[in-house]
Structure 1
């Protein structure tokens, strides 16, 4: 595979999803003005047809209120559940003491504790059944540090999948695997991370197809929970996860599964997008059997994303690349 770092020479400072849009626009003879480089804000012109595109997937096609509903997890969960979409069962809180007060309610369940408004998996914690009050409190405090409201909800087991919805079509689906390394029985976790980070597709700052795996306090804590540290030598073939969230932005791997998912899951993703009146969005679904007919006990729609990245589908870590930037230009009416 070619190195997406050189996708558009001279534009490498822009996030790679924006580079994808520029590449597709130039191939169609659409003129491109970068209005604000730091904001990845573009103006596209084709004759008298002018469109503004921010961060590759924010366009006039979605209203401000649609963005706000998708961004706010309480609002998005409400519209999803009211429209018959299976979502995890949980509660939301605006006060730290109220969340801590429900410790006993959630005590024997595996649960996710997350800020109401967050992106890239920031501030999200996973608390195991019968976790100590101290551990539970840590996750609640962390979530509140990123948002004035938080959600605590049931943990649904299984891999997480991103469904990219463009208009009335699911154009790509990828399995987002949390940052991980696979042991060879010789190298330490730190050495395996360094080795994996040598992949030219991995960089920092969303300007490459994949992000480097970090070795911060977050990763250290995840390893500590397994009784490991960065000097641990995993067994040959052992997969060690360094993050609990599956975001590609924190070093995860994107694996294309568009042709594998059961068609009814695509219907569910479209139903979720319609519930929020969204034209361009990413629907995150967790499922333990994505190739089989959906069973409500084995899946849930986790959230709707108002600014889905394109590069995880155009440049997957493994699997078939999907031409998704082209489809956004089609939706905007460019020829």
Structure 2
């Protein structure tokens, strides 16, 4: 089993992506100074060469405006659409009452409701066709609690993939599977979650390779939609998803698929990054046929992420680990 904290003792309080950069810097003889531990802010020195790195993937290589465009989902969708990138159809709202008033507009569709300016899947809800107004309103309120504006857009069926773009290359791709448990016909969902959370790779606060699965109101609501609660006992081998979003930060599983995807999807990811003038970013693509030639009816680019985590690629739940930390040091010009 992968050690969730693979670095020297004393660095465990830092997020694991930052630990990866520190580990790889040490191996190159680069001096590492932590100038703000809570912010995961580093200064790296190699001779006269000095670089600042924040949260592993924020560097001088991307401008402030590039960060702002990637952070704001309305702005990122705008630049993606204008550059011919396939994106989901939707609308943005700055008032809760306006979003709720469009309930019937989205009633017959599966839709994603998400804040405009968050990362790590925070505040995202997925509402099914014919969901009640109460459920729809709950997801809208949840999204607004994290941002002044929200987006409601079509839900594209299929697994979600994170493409890590570093410079002119897609260096890793992973399938992010929503938080889930597998039934054994004996234990309740709550017990299965507790057991899965015993995996030493799971923790809290991005200091381990995986995050613990939570049992909050969001998970309870997802279970209620399929007639379950935390005390329900699923059948043997039944996969029960307790989240609809696929973020590793909310308990999902990372599965490396770098060598399995159709190469044209890498081209699409690079096109998306270029649209935002991004050097380091994560491109989220959803597709029901990732191994086939891209069909606009079966995929869409969901987001450009301005602070892509490294650990989901270095320490996947399953699949081949990818050495991505060194790629960032290469881009920064370290030898």
Same-fold call, TM > 0.5? yes
| Contact in 2 for aligned 1:6/1:12 (Cα 8 Å) | no
Task: Find out whether 1:114 has 2:114 as its counterpart.
Answer: yes
Task: Find out whether 1:168 has 2:168 as its counterpart.
Answer: yes
Quote how far apart the aligned CAs of 1:145 are. 1.4
Q: Distance in 2 between matches of 1:119 and 1:208?
A: 18
1:52 is matched with: 52
Task: Find out whether 1:61 has 2:61 as its counterpart.
Answer: yes
1:207 is matched with: 207
Q: Distance in 2 between matches of 1:141 and 1:82?
A: 30
| Structure 2 stretches lacking a partner, 5+ long | none
Quote how far apart the aligned CAs of 1:194 are. 1.4
Q: Distance in 1 between matches of 2:93 and 2:226?
A: 30
Equivalent residue runs for 1:267-278 within 5 Å = 267-278=267-278
| Contact in 2 for aligned 1:8/1:19 (Cα 8 Å) | no
| Contact in 1 for aligned 2:289/2:298 (Cα 8 Å) | yes
Secondary structure of the 1:313 match is helix
Quote how far apart the aligned CAs of 1:244 are. 1.0
**The 10-residue stretch of structure 1 (99-108 or 21-30) with the greater mean CA deviation from structure 2:** 99-108
Secondary structure of the 2:176 match is strand
2:130 is matched with: 130
**The 10-residue stretch of structure 1 (107-116 or 302-311) with the greater mean CA deviation from structure 2:** 107-116
Q: Distance in 2 between matches of 1:197 and 1:60?
A: 37
Secondary structure of the 1:193 match is helix
| Structure 1 stretches lacking a partner, 5+ long | none
Secondary structure of the 2:126 match is strand
Equivalent residue runs for 1:167-316 within 5 Å = 167-316=167-316
Secondary structure of the 1:249 match is helix
Q: Distance in 2 between matches of 1:162 and 1:334?
A: 26
Displaced runs of 4 or more, over 3 A: none
1:98 is matched with: 98
| Contact in 2 for aligned 1:161/1:286 (Cα 8 Å) | yes
1:158 is matched with: 158
Secondary structure of the 1:172 match is strand
- Tell me the TM-score normalised to structure 2 length: 0.98
Secondary structure of the 1:42 match is strand
Quote how far apart the aligned CAs of 1:7 are. 2.7
2:14 is matched with: 14
Q: Distance in 2 between matches of 1:15 and 1:138?
A: 31
| Contact in 2 for aligned 1:210/1:251 (Cα 8 Å) | yes
| Contact in 2 for aligned 1:157/1:286 (Cα 8 Å) | yes
Q: Distance in 2 between matches of 1:90 and 1:271?
A: 21
Q: Which deviations, in whole Å up to 9, do the C-alpha atoms of 1:111-169 show, x marking residues without a partner? A: 11111011111111111112222222221122111111111100001100000000000
Q: Distance in 1 between matches of 2:2 and 2:221?
A: 35
**The 10-residue stretch of structure 1 (45-54 or 122-131) with the greater mean CA deviation from structure 2:** 122-131
Quote how far apart the aligned CAs of 1:190 are. 1.3
Q: Which deviations, in whole Å up to 9, do the C-alpha atoms of 1:210-262 show, x marking residues without a partner? A: 11111122211111111111111111110000111111111110000000010
| Contact in 1 for aligned 2:246/2:252 (Cα 8 Å) | yes
**The 10-residue stretch of structure 1 (89-98 or 235-244) with the greater mean CA deviation from structure 2:** 89-98
Quote how far apart the aligned CAs of 1:56 are. 0.1
Q: Distance in 1 between matches of 2:215 and 2:107?
A: 30
- Tell me the TM-score normalised to structure 1 length: 0.98
